[in-house]
Each structure stands twice: as C-alpha cells, then as structure tokens.
Chains A and B, each alone.
Chain A
C-alpha cells in the first residue's frame, strides 16, 4: 500500500508528525514501512514556464523551437512534444536539473511525467494549469511538497489497504482523532431501473449498485491523477480514476459497468457453470467453472466477482450511462477465482484479505458523488442495496488478567480500553477485570480475545513489554543418537582434511541414468516434485553421489582438482503406498581426488595421489573413531555392485549381522566421463541408520603389561594374487604368546622373483605373567612361520 503523507494527514486534523517519524511509528505498529520518499526530490531546477510562441524548425520534421516565459527570463527551447500549443504551461528542466541519470546541460528540456519520477507516462510533456505563474518551482505548481510512503502489509491487516486505515493507525500513534471522509447521502429511490440477484449469501454478503446517467467521460483533474500516480496506480479516465481513488481511500474496491452493455437490466451474482468462459478487461478468454464467482447480466458473465471486469461490459470513452458496483465477496471464493484464472488485481488483493461489508454503500455514494462532480450527469433515482449476509457486530470479552499474564506486564483496564478506543474499537470496562469490546466492521481480523491481546501489545508498544526468563522446571533433554553420530562423523571427516558440502535435496533424474543405473534400480525410483523449478531439480535425491560429483566437476573447472569433500544428509525413497511420506534415511558420502594431502606443504607431503586405500582408510578411521571397528568387515561385494564402481576396485562394508553399511572404492571411468570428470575419483557412502544400530566397543581398562616383550620379524614371499591383509590377524590368533602383529612392508623388485611379493611382518611376543626366554619365543615363532607359509601359500625369504 502506497500513498502520500499529506493524503493520510488530510484525515487527521492537527496532524504534524514528520514523515520519517511517521514511518517509524507505523513500522513499530506492525505496518512495516518499506520506503519514504520526498516527491519533490530532484525537482530543484524544474520550473513552470508558459509557451509564448512556437515555430517549426525547417528541415527537422516534428521539432519546434519554442519561446518560453520562465519568469525571470525568456528562453528558447527545442521540443518534439505534440501536446503543447501557445499559452500552454509546462514543466521545464533548467541546466543543473537531474532527469533520470542525466544532468541537464542545455538551455532547458520539457519534462514528461516519467521525467519527473511521477509515473510511466512519457508520451507527452506534463501540462500545468494555464494560470500558473511562470517561474514557479514545478514542485509547488504540481503540489509535490509531499512524501510518498509505502507500507508492506501483512495479510491480516485488510483494513490498512486504504489511506483511511493507515490514517487511523497514524492518528492513534499521534494521539489524535481520525476524521473519516464525509458521508454523502444520495437519493435512494426503491424503484431502480435495474435489478440484482445474489444466489448465495456466503459468496456475496452484500451488493450495492447505482446507476449514473449522462456522464461525459474525460481525463481526471491533476489532484486526482496525482493521488493515483503517487499511489502507483495509472490514471485512465475520470470514472475509472474515481473508482480507484475511493478504493485507495476506503479500501472498498468498486467497478463501473457500461449500463448499455448490460443485457436485461439485470445483474446476477452466481457461480460459473462448467466450461463457462469470460473475456476479461485484458482481452484474454479464460475458462471458469463452479469455483469462480461471476457477476452476470441476463445472458452472460460480465465480471469475475472481486477480481476483474469483463471486456464486453466495461466502460469506454463513449459510455454515458454507468452502473457502479460496490460489493462484498467471500475472501476464499475471490482468492480461488483469482488463482484459477491467474488474474490478480488491486481489487482481488483487498477482497482476499477481507472487505468491510458495512462500508459498501458509503463507498458507493462517495464515488457516485465524485463522478457526478467530475463528469457531470445525474444519479438515476434507483440504488440497489442487497445485504443478505448482514451480521451483528462482534463483541469480545477481554480479561485484564489474561492480557497481563500473556504479555508479562502490569496494566489496568482504563489503559486497555483507551488503547483499543484509539483505533476505533468500542471498548468498555465492565468492571476492573473485564472489558467488553465491540469490533467495528473494518477489523474483520479481530475475532478472539487473543486478537485483542495483540492489539494492546501493539498499541502499547512491544518495547514497553518487560523482559524476563521463563521459569521452567529443570529437565533432562537427550540428544538423538543420529544427531550425536552426525556430529562425531563430521568432526572425524574435518580432522581428515575434508570440507563439508551441502547440496540441494533435489536433483536431476537424468543423473541417475548417467550413473549407469538400470531403470529397475531402487535408486531410480525417486520422489518427484509436482511443481519443480526446473528439470534439473525435479526429483528428491536417492544418493549423495551426483551432488558431490557436480561439486567435484565445478572445483576441477576452477583448477582445484585436489578435492576431499563430504556431505551428511538425507536421501529420499518412495515407501509403500499406505505411507504417504517417503523414507528419509541419512547418508554420509565423500569424494577424494587428486593429491592425497591437498593442504599439507608439498615439501613434506609430496604430489602423491589418493588411491583406494585412502578411501578405505577414511572408513576405517570413522569406524575406529566410533569404536565399531570390530563390528564391520570390509570385503569385496557379495553380489554385483552398482555400475558406477570400477570393477575390482570396490569394497562392501558389512556389519556383523550381515547388513550392508555402505561401499567404498574407485568410480568407473565411463561414469565419470558422463559427469565431465577426468582422472581417478574415489567415493564412499555409508548408511548412518545402520551405524546407529551398532553398539560401540565398551571402554574397559586392561592392566598395563608388566613384563618386557620381544620382537621377531618375518619376511615371506607370497604370490602376487595372494591377499596379505589378513596375515596379522591370523598371526595374532595362532598363539597366546603373540601380543601384536603388524604388516610393515611389501617389497617387489630386485631379488624377488617375478610374480611374487615379499611381505614383512613384525611380531611382538609377550606373556602377562613373566619374562619370556629366547628359547620359548624361537619355538613359537618357528611354528607360526610354518603355519603362515601353509596358510598363505608362501615361502620363507629370510628371518631376522
């Protein structure tokens, strides 16, 4: 809602609040002011001038040289404007004036409305009253010593979609009384020349209309156009302008029909029939139906109630008899109509929020009187006022105690009634504890006691309410296992030089195809959005992989190919039909590419690239950090792994109970190519719900060893295809004397036969109860070597 401060002030006798203060007061009353702007800003060097003479410039078709009286001096101005003649008064921008972004340097330029920042009109220069004294600053000539104020209205404040509504609040803030616009009484002869039928009182609680005859439609005077222009409404002609003016002033939308185009002298307010069409003012034909409320004449719809008039019933420059409508429609039906037909107007904006049925006739008669004043003609005796939805004014009981308890302040009923009365609520203290408040029709948002509690808080000022802390009993609140887990995992990942990525929960279905997934794959059955912003964001993700690959590609394109990114988030799966909502399990995904330690000094870390054991290391670190290392086994996948894994470069993470916790490995080159990524990329994805189900190894102190240990190393030659990873565990299981075994080297090359590798193990022997002797260790060690050789298909290389 936009209007000038003077328009507001005209309804408050004695109002002298400066615009900036008014803006602040309104904001603090909940009418957030977006903008306050002086209308005369930038008009310092624009003055009124009278054209003394015009002559066409030879050779330049359409250009004229004008001699103008600028008050102090006579100036020559070149113009192409066609709406001027000798004697016209116009606005002339003198050197130094700023028009748009340009500083005027020529002798002078005539200004259009757009040049003056008054609107969009740019098809002619602004014409001033011909009585204007030349040299008068144009800001005075156009009465622009004023400010425009724009309020961002919340949906509940329908009453403030009007100048009077805002003035009511401004008056309350200033401690002054509102003076509503005069009530005009026009004759109301019951024998109208037309009739109105309302089919449903809920759809249309009130309909008033008046016939004005012998109207001469022409342009509006400046005061009216100025009011509309500053409110952001385009002036059209004096009839339409008056309907808009009254709508802005009182918040009551009005509509003018050309009576000669209303067939059967009859209006019917009814729902649309199936397939019924209307051609609206904008010339577009739209299908309506029973969800839309129409105003119809005897044969066809002539307007969408509360939204927009029809093209074939609206007034034109030639109209002489007009039927003026001022009605009240149900907010829901107007909103549905506007939505369905995709037509939104100043009128529908107000009806959707609620219009005061009590104000219909008042607005109708004010508008009619103003039209007669500007366009001549006379009111046909008849006035229709159908009010089937009439209701008594609501009376709300308000408990003083309740207000004080909810707001946490002390206040007596006298103050409360005073505050409520300041905005037109008839509040009376019944006793020291109870107030009876009669709600005026324009405050359709006030229905319950709590609504009045808010009004009191708002009018007293939120900043007047004290500050306290809730007295709530101490209680233990637990953190969910999932929240705890994600926090732990994040800390571990960050500790391993990963950056956290956050991607959209939705993605491109085609990415699943690019991963090589078959249409039958569960990942390929995503939850689909009915109204996505784009095809690329049309389905909810079933895997974190495409998002992370997109991040990787993006980083590579910025020359950042060393990437360690992780994401923890939900994926979404359609559930059985009886469950409306999808499953939303949590996943951890991570990609590794490029250098192993991107952020470590090259000097120490070198250029070494990540490989699959880095990916395995990440999973192992996470499991160890969670104390779950002995509950999860990493092994080649039991069944066929997803197609985006490079064959032979993938491990499955299995829990002791055989559940698949996740996978890690290298991504298939072909799949990476689909995503425009070159080079090796390693990926891991874990199911977090599966992790929370496991119980971490208990923390239990074991006595520290008291006796020394002995170390013996073993070097075994194994065939290349013999996996060595299980050797330490095997050794540890072979004898109680073995305290620990570690694989510390794998060597290939000189002195080693081709096809073989030398695997070196360090075995630590210890007894908890006594010191070991060499002979015992040697005996056990020999036996262990023998067992290893047979178990791992090896050959002893040397012993140290």
Chain B
C-alpha cells in the first residue's frame, strides 16, 4: 500500500508539472484531490491495512495529500494571477552590477613601505622610529659626517635653527636605537626624509627605509645574504643583485646595490639607461667611528646597515616617471593602486 501511495504521488506530481491550462487544473483537482479523487480513495481504504501499519500509513497518506495540495495551489495561483499566466516568471537581471561596498586604498608609497617593511619583519627585524626634526648630532656628527665635510654636499639640508634640522636620511634612527639598546640589534626604521631639492626626480620630502643589524661577528657576507633575500621577495625569485664599492661616511666598506633591471631583465633599456642595472639601495658595514661615538666596542661588535628610497622602488614597480606625482594626491592617480 505504501508503494501504491508513493507511486500515485509521483505520477500526480509529474502530471501537474505538464499542465498548461486552468481547465486542465480543475480536472486534475477532481482526479486526485477531490472527494472521489485517487488519494482520497486510498485513504478510505486504510482499514484494509494491517492494524499495526495503519497509523504510519495514515500519516504518510495525509502528508502526501498535503504536499500535493500545496503544489497544486502554487500552480493554480500562478495560472490564475493576472500578470504571468502560466508563462515562467522572468528571473532577476544577473548582468547588473552587484551592490558593492567600495574600498579605497593606501597611497602607493605606503604600500611599498609596507611591503618592504614586512619582508624584513618576517626576517626578525624590529621597527624603530625617530623624530623628523632632528639634531645635527644624530643626522651628521654621530654618523661620522663632521661640519665642513664634503659629504655634507650629498645632503641639501633644511635647517630649523642652529643644530636643528629636518633629517636628511633615516640613518639618525640607527644612532638613537643604538644609544637606547645594546646589541644584538636588528631593526628597520621607515620614515619621511627631507632635502631642499625639487625637480622631476626630487621632491623636498620623500621616504626611506633604514635597516641595521649589530652583533658579534656580523660580516659583509651577511649583508649580501640578507639583501639577497630582500631582492628575491621584492623583485622575484630570479632577481640578481650587484654590489659596487661606494662611499658613505657612516659605513665602511660601503656599497651601492643594483638589481638587474626589472624592465629589460638586464639587457639595457631606457629606464636603466642601457646599463642593465638599477641602483636601489646603499649599504655597508657600520663604520667603527660610528660605534665609537655611541660607546660600542667595534672590536667586539660589528654590523651592517642599508637604506633605500621608497619612491624610487615605487617608481620602478609602477612605471611612474615624475616623483612629484606622489604628492598631488590626485584620486585619478591614487585609484590606480587599489
């Protein structure tokens, strides 16, 4: 009897699905659901079932009848409603844009700063900070750049007053950190720096990230290995670095570090001025004179330091050719970095 019930239900359901006129619906109602309809008849015959099965079968028959009733009503309502008739109701227009919650974005300089910082933070470097308005001592003297040293020509300095200036690099943070904490030290120091210079490749304010590591037996080889990791993370696994001797008063040996041109891959192009290399950072072993200024014994400790220009990397990465664009804060520019 159960099989009979289920079979009947499924036949009726299929039939209902094929109906396309109101008249046929009425006939369907009479055939299955009416007082003499098929389901009603089965229910009446419930008495013939085994007494133990009766409650279960009764419930089943009732449920099925109820369900069929529901299906019938839905079809009937649709068929008799004025607008749709029996034709399928059109679905939503899925081609329309979603109801988005728009997102803004960080400034491209912040994005690169964040990216560079996170590489070093993952290597275990802590983040140090320092003032933008700095004492001559930290910006120059302690970094082995005495007054009247030609190296000061490399820094066009904004002065606030005698001995007070806008920091020209993030290196003074190195000194402040070493004054505060004893080695081992591994820190990065991101920040704004200032030089009185303004043209297509210079703005009077720009961003640098300084990094330094001081411990026993830190070597130039360690500097190379650390920066190699940075280059791989920043410029891709096949990034090649080149170290060239250079001069900074606060490091010795000093190096300029070039990465194989990210545009041409090293074959030479306009961006790398046909050299195949792009200068991305300055680095070196911390000069013993710097250690002496802050009372760290350079016979026991050694360390390396490096500094890189964030705008420079952002310009290379995003193909920006005028550094001043960064500080216009034109949304048509900013929204490209979403």
Contact = CB atoms under 8 A, between A and B. Distances in A.
Interface of A: 27-30, 32, 154-157, 331-332, 335-336, 352-353, 405-409, 448, 450-451, 453-454, 457-458, 462-463, 465-475, 477-480, 482-483, 490, 493-506, 527-533, 537, 540, 551, 554-555, 558, 560, 563-566, 570, 572, 580-582, 584, 597-601, 603-604
B255 interface: yes
B131 interface: yes
A6 B328 CA distance: 49
A561 to B, nearest CB: 10
B64 interface: no
Contact of A465 (B121, B154, B221): B221
A155 to B, nearest CB: 4
B13 to A, nearest CB: 36
Contact of A472 (B133, B135, B215, B229): B215
Contacts of A494: 103-106
Given A155-B153, A496-B104, A597-B102, A472 B124 contact: yes
A566 B331 CA distance: 12
A559 B256 CA distance: 44
Contact of A530 (B106, B125, B160): B160
A500 B196 contact: no
Nearest to A35: B273
A335 B158 CA distance: 19
Nearest to B100: A600
B329 A462 contact: no
Given A409-B221, A448-B288, A451-B252, A529 B166 contact: yes
A541 to B, nearest CB: 11
B326 interface: yes
Top 10 nearest A-B pairs (CB, nearest first) are A408-B221, A30-B245, A477-B126, A408-B219, A154-B247, A599-B102, A462-B243, A454-B253, A155-B150, A501-B329
B105 A30 contact: no
A741 to B, nearest CB: 26
A558 B330 contact: yes
Contacts of A554: 328-330
A691 B111 CA distance: 24
B184 A30 contact: no
Interface of B: 96-107, 109-110, 121, 124-127, 129, 131-135, 148-151, 153-154, 158-161, 163-164, 166, 184, 186-187, 192, 194, 196, 198, 203-205, 213, 215, 217-222, 224-226, 228-229, 242-247, 252-256, 285, 287-288, 302, 326-332, 334-335
26 contacts: A155-B247, A331-B150, A332-B148, A335-B150, A336-B148, A406-B219, A450-B252, A450-B288, A454-B252, A462-B245, A470-B186, A473-B184, A477-B125, A478-B126, A480-B127, A494-B105, A495-B103, A499-B107, A502-B326, A502-B327, A504-B204, A505-B132, A581-B164, A584-B131, A600-B99, A601-B100
B237 to A, nearest CB: 15
Given A408-B222, A505-B192, A581-B134, 18 more contacts: A332-B148, A353-B150, A406-B220, A407-B219, A450-B252, A458-B253, A462-B255, A468-B225, A501-B329, A504-B205, A530-B158, A532-B196, A533-B196, A551-B328, A572-B133, A580-B135, A600-B100, A603-B97
Nearest to A532: B158
Contact of B329 (A473, A565, A584, A603): A565
Contacts of B121: 477
A532 B164 CA distance: 14
B154 to A, nearest CB: 7
B204 A457 contact: no
Contacts of A478: 126
Given A157-B247, A332-B148, A502-B327, A531 B196 contact: yes
B99 A604 contact: yes
A468 B153 contact: no
Nearest to A450: B252
A599 B97 CA distance: 12
Given A466-B221, A533-B198, A502 B125 contact: no
A469 B220 contact: no
A410 to B, nearest CB: 11
A558 B332 contact: yes
Contact of B160 (A497, A528, A555): A528
Contacts, number: 247
Nearest to B138: A581
A465 B304 CA distance: 15
B107 A28 contact: no
Nearest to B335: A499
B158 A531 contact: yes
A734 B326 CA distance: 54
A537 B159 CA distance: 13
B247 A499 contact: no
A532 B205 CA distance: 12
Contact of B218 (A30, A466, A470, A564): A470
B331 A527 contact: no
A409 B129 CA distance: 34
Contact of B222 (A451, A469, A563, A584): A469
B115 to A, nearest CB: 13
B253 A453 contact: yes
A530 B161 contact: yes
Q: For A466, A500, A603, which residue has the most chain B Cβ atoms within 10 angstroms?
A: A500
Contacts of A480: 127, 129
Given A336-B148, A406-B220, A407-B219, A598 B102 contact: yes
Nearest to A156: B247
Contacts of A498: 104
Given A479-B127, A499-B105, A405 B217 contact: yes
Contacts of A27: 244
Contacts of A468: 219, 221-222, 224-225
A154 B284 CA distance: 15
B104 A30 contact: no
A502 B329 contact: yes
Given A500-B334, A582-B133, A467 B228 contact: yes
Nearest to A528: B160
B302 to A, nearest CB: 6
B151 to A, nearest CB: 5
B100 A527 contact: no
Nearest to A537: B204
Contacts of A504: 203-205, 327
A537 B203 CA distance: 12
Given A463-B243, A480-B129, A555-B330, A470 B97 contact: no
Contacts of B186: 470, 472, 475, 477
Nearest to B147: A332
B242 A500 contact: no
Nearest to B102: A599
B163 A580 contact: yes
A501 B198 CA distance: 20
Contact of A352 (B129, B150, B243): B150
A500 B106 contact: yes
Contact of A584 (B132, B161, B194, B335): B132
A483 B187 CA distance: 14
A558 B333 CA distance: 12
A474 B221 CA distance: 20
A799 B37 CA distance: 49
Most A-side CB within 10 Å, residue of B166, B228, B245, B256: B245
A621 to B, nearest CB: 12
A614 to B, nearest CB: 14
B253 A457 contact: yes
Contacts of B105: 494, 499-500
B146 to A, nearest CB: 9
Nearest to A501: B329
A467 B151 CA distance: 29
A497 B224 contact: no
Contacts of B126: 477-478
- A451, A465, A560 — most chain B CB neighbours (10 Å): A465
Nearest to A458: B245
Given A28-B245, A408-B220, A564 B104 contact: yes
